[in-house]
Structure 1
Amino acid sequence: MPAPLRSLLARGAGSAMVSGFVLVAVLTMVGKIVAFAKDALVADKLGTADELDAFMLVFGFFTFACSVLAGGLPESFVPAYAELRERRGLRRASRLGVQCAAFHCTVLLACGGLLALTAPWVVQWTTRGFTPAKQTLAVGLLRGLVPFLLCFGLAQQLGAWLRAGKTFLLAAAAPMLVPLAIVTAMLLAGDQVSAWTLVSGTVWGSAAYLAAMLAAVSRRLPRRLSWWRCTLRHAEPLLRLVLRNAMPFLIGGVAFSSAVVVDQTMAAWLTAGSVAVLGYSDKVCAIVLSVTAGPAADVLFPHFAELVARRDWHGLRRRLFTSAGIIVSAALPMTLLLCLLAPWIVSILFERGAFGPQDTQRVAEVLRYAAFQIPFYILGTVAARVAVSLQASRFMLVTAFGALVLNASLNWLLMRHLGAAGIALSTTIVHFICAIVTCITCLMVIRRKEAA
């Protein structure tokens, strides 16, 4: 091995960034194993039944809402927290964290109430292919999952706070409480498993997730009463900047994260079970993304934010290239394996009980198209964290809406010939274009800042 490469690996192996990535990757993989145990149990009990179709569509709404809200305030909070801690100290940064969490909780309450009130209209508009009984079930499931939005959304905000302080252990481990609770609920239900069993497990698991994050954050805060009085009475001056920067990310998140809802809604127009088939395919792809894109985003984001706060543009560019190259190189072999071994993988993971060989064939066909999104998704995720650290809010907004329009257009074009597989291929094409555009834009912004 060449001496420069040996030196780079030796420095990287002992760095906090690499150790943080390994820790988050391992814990995320453990969480995915738990989640797949849950998915296998769901496949055994419900297969691709109408009841599961309704639950997965409704759960997609809440996943979309959580992704949008997590892409607003938390995204703008992390760079501001890093800059405030660097320049003013930890106490001022902690005050900003408390006030952002309180504001985020208020937004979640408002969104949950709005979803509960508009549930019949939302379900009727997005489930054109559902029967009336299936639509009625979806309305009830949507209202039953409203507490999940509040608990899970606030826990994500607190997790962003912990990761901004480079505390990755609990933030990476606590989300597995949700699938653990779902598995527990299904085991307790025995042969009476239904969509409502999944709802109860999801809600109780998200409540446990929030409790764990609150306990972790509270231990990091000052105990002095005078600090709390100051925090509750006086707004942190940087809070206004965080809220102002959060709005473009929030609007952009509505467009970018709505791709999942658009995909599921358009899949509902196809043959029965298409929503569930698309969902199972996404879960398989999530195995690779869980140990690449997820840990990379969690660990690299605070490092990118610190480099921006220090105005270290050369270091930022170098870290972007190095991180993206290493992670994408590791993901490519996994992508090829998913394509080649798709039927075998789906059979091992899901084929039991109500999930039969025909379902395996349908999911494997979609998976072969969906797997190619993995390297582009990782590259786009890493580059997007750089863009957020640079507060390139206008670019993120334009990219998000462009991706939404392109995704819906390609879905409509490809699903007519390929069915659910066409929706998966559309997603791959969109991720490819977004990744390339985001990388080029980040490099241009860094070059401008160097020149200034």
Structure 2
Amino acid sequence: MALLRSIATVGGYTLISRVTGFARDILVAGLLGAGTVSDAFFVAFRFPNLFRRLFAEGAFQAAFVPIFAGLLETDGREVARTFARRAFSVLALILLVFTAAMEVLMPFAMIVMAPGFDAVPGKMELATELTRIAFPYLLFISLVSLQSGVLNSLGHFGAAAAAPILLNLTLIAALVGFTPLMETPGHALAWGVFAAGVIQFAWLAWHCRRAGMGLLPPIRPKLTPRVRLLGRRILPVVLGGSLYQINLLIGTILASLLADGAVSWLYYADRVTQLPLGVIGVAVSTALLPLLSRQLKAGQWDAARHNQNRALEFALLLTLPAAAALMVIPGPIIGTLFERGAFSPADTAATAAALMAFAAGLPSYVLVKILAQAFFAREDTAMPVRIAAAAMGANIVLNLILMQIWGHVGIALAAALSNWGNAIALAVVLHRRGTLGVDARLRARLPRIALATALMAAALWGGALALDDVMALGDPARPLALAGLVLGGIVVYGVAAQLSGAASVGELKAMLRRKGEARMQAPVPPE
């Protein structure tokens, strides 16, 4: 399996997901704007998503994939499938109990999640109601994450990467089709979240069965040695692999204490940041973990180090220009995407400022996702926890300081700075252990990538100034001007990267065709 080919598969579907996500957010912004209903829904949506990313997408994948991939190599598909079904049953039981408990405790949870909502009459009650509707999404999407781990370990990346597209399409359908029947558009969206969880679960269940790894019907939950091993590995990875989501939660809590709309400004800015983060960071880390796990189990240290260097190179090749673009033209991006209907020019300015701050940390978000895989593939979950705990403490301190100066922008900047600290610390530890040897090719490429990025940023800045009057005309001139800016930036960066030697078109084509290493062996405890 070629690493770059796997990245391209995940990244391609993730790109479609982000595009449909933007279509969804454009509709949300037009109907809800940035106010009471939008703030309440975004908290309702973020709450189950937080637990999903902490316990399922981040921790579960990092703990489950190395064990499952090892069983595939050493014991065969049926033993691996039995382990997956056992893990599925235990996870489903835990999630059922947890979801039921949270439904009962939701009013108290909202006091923690959004303490500032009490200042606006009815806002806390609305957030509680919407979150109760949407929260069962956690149950279904967490089981989706397990099924994704199974398919990714088999080298089938497409179905799992396409699942978020179903979420976006379902929410669009709910917003367009059911808003007239509901009390508010927020209610239609909350029910859409619930329905999307069921649809995504059914989609992955069908693909697992098609791949010969069906997990249904569930078997009796049992804490076998392998399931206990999985549990021991999940708990520390919760912090180690999910600092970004924890920082977003802290930011949401603090933003609820600021102006009405601050939660929404941060949400929209984060959504734009998620495009390159999802397409690049998630794609690279998703494809890298199974490959590193197999190579390290086989003792192929040089191959693992080479793939880690290529993952870093490929990620930085795309992330640095993306971050620069978001920092140079945040206003045109936010205005074009969201400024219509209930979303005002003031909302655009506030969201664009937050986007600049989030974008400053974009490369670090991707680096953390990649570097964390080097620990998880080596079954070391303790060190990332220590590093993440320190970075989370720094984030809280920075939030409390910077929000006093810059309000919601200070919250976004605190998240960026603390995540840079996390990335640097992970890299230093790996380097000291001798498991992060930056090779000559990566050392030579980094300054060239930086040069190409600087040239592109200068071109975007000049282009934005030249098109300022056109942008002021609104639709349809503004989207066309932004498209011209983006296309021009891509051309400038592509030419500069080719001429400087930062990247080679022929080399990328060769990497896409290259086959990966043979499958490896991995000892795991008996069932």
When the two structures are superposed, what TM-score results if normalisation uses the length of structure 1? 0.90
Q: What is the CA distance between 1:441 and its match in structure 2?
A: 2.1
Letter in 1 for 2:67: A
Answer yes or no: is 1:148 the counterpart of 2:137: yes
Q: What is the CA distance between 1:54 and its match in structure 2?
A: 1.0
SS in 1 for 2:124: helix
Aligned sequence identity (%): 26
Q: What is the CA distance between 1:216 and its match in structure 2?
A: 1.1
Matches of 1:33 and 1:233, distance apart in 2: 39
User: Are the structure 2 counterparts of residues 118 and 250 from structure 1 closer, same or farther at C-alpha, using a change threshold of 3 Å?
Assistant: same
1:129-184 alpha-carbon deviations (Å, 9 max, x no partner): 21241111111112111221111111111111111111101011122111101100
Letter in 1 for 2:363: P
Q: What is the CA distance between 1:398 and its match in structure 2?
A: 1.1
Q: Which residue of 1 aligns with 2:59?
A: 72
Q: Which residue of 2 aligns with 1:215?
A: 206
Answer yes or no: is 1:119 the counterpart of 2:106: yes
Q: Which residue of 2 aligns with 1:102?
A: 89
Contact 1:73 1:104 in 2 (8 A): no
Q: Which residue of 1 aligns with 2:301?
A: 313
Give the structure with the larger helix fraction.
Answer: 1
Answer yes or no: is 1:52 the counterpart of 2:38: yes
Letter in 2 for 1:376: S
The runs of 5 or more residues in structure 1 that have no matched partner are 1-14
Question: What are the within-5 Å matches in structure 2 for residues 320-399 of structure 1?
Answer: 320-399=308-387
Q: Which residue of 2 aligns with 1:10?
A: none
Matches of 1:279 and 1:139, distance apart in 2: 18
1:324-364 alpha-carbon deviations (Å, 9 max, x no partner): 12211221111111111110000111011000111111111
Answer yes or no: is 1:294 the counterpart of 2:282: yes
Answer yes or no: is 1:29 the counterpart of 2:15: yes
Letter in 2 for 1:259: N
Matches of 1:193 and 1:258, distance apart in 2: 29
Matches of 2:399 and 2:380, distance apart in 1: 28
Contact 2:53 2:245 in 1 (8 A): yes
Contact 1:99 1:231 in 2 (8 A): yes
Contact 2:233 2:381 in 1 (8 A): yes
Contact 2:269 2:355 in 1 (8 A): yes
Matches of 1:129 and 1:245, distance apart in 2: 36
Matches of 1:238 and 1:127, distance apart in 2: 38
Matches of 1:446 and 1:77, distance apart in 2: 25
Contact 1:267 1:420 in 2 (8 A): yes
Deviates most, 128-137 or 438-447: 438-447
Deviates most, 105-114 or 376-385: 105-114
Q: What is the CA distance between 1:44 and its match in structure 2?
A: 0.5
Q: What is the CA distance between 1:88 and its match in structure 2?
A: 1.6
Q: Which residue of 1 aligns with 2:125?
A: 136
Contact 1:414 1:422 in 2 (8 A): yes
Contact 2:357 2:412 in 1 (8 A): yes
Q: What is the CA distance between 1:229 and its match in structure 2?
A: 12
Give the total of aligned pairs: 431
Contact 2:3 2:307 in 1 (8 A): no
Deviates most, 104-113 or 437-446: 437-446
Q: Which residue of 2 aligns with 1:9?
A: none
Letter in 2 for 1:405: G
Question: What are the within-5 Å matches in structure 2 for residues 396-407 of structure 1?
Answer: 396-407=384-395
Q: Which residue of 2 aligns with 1:440?
A: 428
Let me know the Cα RMSD of the aligned residues. Answer: 2.3
Q: What is the CA distance between 1:189 and its match in structure 2?
A: 3.0
Letter in 1 for 2:124: Q
Question: What are the within-5 Å matches in structure 2 for residues 208-247 of structure 1?
Answer: 208-221=199-212, 237-247=225-235
Letter in 2 for 1:18: L
1:98-152 alpha-carbon deviations (Å, 9 max, x no partner): 1111111122112211211211111123323212411111111121112211111
Q: What is the CA distance between 1:236 and its match in structure 2?
A: 5.8
Matches of 1:175 and 1:181, distance apart in 2: 10
Deviates most, 116-125 or 381-390: 116-125
